[in-house]
Amino acid sequence: MSKSYDLKTFKEYSQFDSLKSFNTTIEMFLADHMKDFTKGELVAFKRLVRYSAKYFGVANAKIGTLLKTINE
């Protein structure tokens, strides 16, 4: 049985001090690596980034949740 954790529990793992810093880092990463992703992988990555915006760079969404939102 899996245990659900409050996202706030993982806030300390953020390496970013602002949403702007997080977004800039994502943009720079994609500028260098977007070509390495398939279309589906890129969609999944961008969805994961959205789940990582409340606590910059930290997400704990279940894979089933990610897949469900990607398919919607």
Per-residue pLDDT tens digits for 30-48: 999 999 999 989 998 999 9
Average pLDDT value over all residues in the chain: 87
Nearest by Cα to 57 from 6, 27, 13, 24: 13
Q: Is the dihedral of CA 41, 43, 46, 48 positive or negative?
A: negative
User: For a pLDDT cut of 70, what percent of the chain falls above it?
Assistant: 93
Helix and strand element counts for the chain (H, E): 3, 0
